[in-house]
Amino acid sequence: MPEKLNLAGIIRLMAQILGVTWQAIRAQVVKKVGPMAEKVMDQVEKSVAWVGNLITKGPIALMDMAKEFLGELQALFFDAFIGWLRNTVIVRAVEKLISMFNPVGAIVQAVMTIYNMVQFFIERAKQIAALVNAVFSSIAEIAGGNIKKAVAAVEDSLVKALPVAISFLANLVGIGGITAKIKEIIQKIRKPIDAAVGKAVGFIAGKA
C-alpha cells in the first residue's frame, strides 16, 4: 500500500503492480530506435532533465508533464473502486440483513456467516495481528506521554484498520478477493497508462 492515498501514492501503486519502470521504457525505446540506441540513450539520460528524474523517481516524475491526464486517472480508479464497493459489498450487506428477518433465511445466513468469519480470520491473521500491535503501540505511547509518537501510532492503526474492516464486511456477506478486484480495476485502466508510456517512448525516440 502507498504511504499516502493521494495522486502520487496511487501512481506509485499502479506502477508497482503493472511493472511500469524506466528499465521497461528504455527497452521499448531501444527496440524502436535500433541497436545504436544504447549510446544515444546514455546521452539522453545525462542531458534530458526529466528523463533523469524518471530514472531516479520512477513514473511519478511524469506527473508535471501530464497532470490533467493523471488527475483523470485517479478519478477513474477511485470511481471504479468506490462503485464496486457500493454496488457489491454494501448492497449485499443490506440484502443479508433483510434475509435475516425470514426464520429459514436466518438459519442459513447464520451458518454462512460463521463460515465466512472463520475464513476471514484465517486469511487475514497476519493483518489482524499487525492491527492489534499498532493499537497497543498507540495506547502505550499515549500512556507514556509521547504525543507525536501517539499521533503517528493512531494514524498507523487507522491505515491498518481500513483494509481489514472492508475485507471483514466483504467476507461477512460472502464476497472475497478484494485485492484481486483492485488488480482487475487497475488492469482495466491499463490502456491509458500504456498510451502515456507510449507517448513518452515516442518522445524519447524522437529526441534520439
CB 16 within 8 A of CB 193: no
Cα–Cα distance measured from residue 204 to residue 43, given in angstroms and rounded to the nearest whole number: 11
The reported pLDDT for the residue numbered 81 is 67
Cα–Cα distance measured from residue 14 to residue 77, given in angstroms and rounded to the nearest whole number: 10
Cα–Cα distance measured from residue 91 to residue 186, given in angstroms and rounded to the nearest whole number: 23
DSSP state of 85: I
Domain map (residue ranges) of the chain: 1-75+190-208
The reported pLDDT for the residue numbered 195 is 72
The reported pLDDT for the residue numbered 55 is 53
Q: Which portions of the chain are predicted below pLDDT 70? A: 1-23, 26, 33, 35-78, 81, 84-125, 127-128, 130-131, 134-183, 185-186, 189-190, 192-194, 196-197, 200-208
Cα–Cα distance measured from residue 15 to residue 9, given in angstroms and rounded to the nearest whole number: 10
The reported pLDDT for the residue numbered 24 is 72
The reported pLDDT for the residue numbered 163 is 67
CB 30 within 8 A of CB 37: yes
Cα–Cα distance measured from residue 110 to residue 115, given in angstroms and rounded to the nearest whole number: 9
The reported pLDDT for the residue numbered 182 is 65
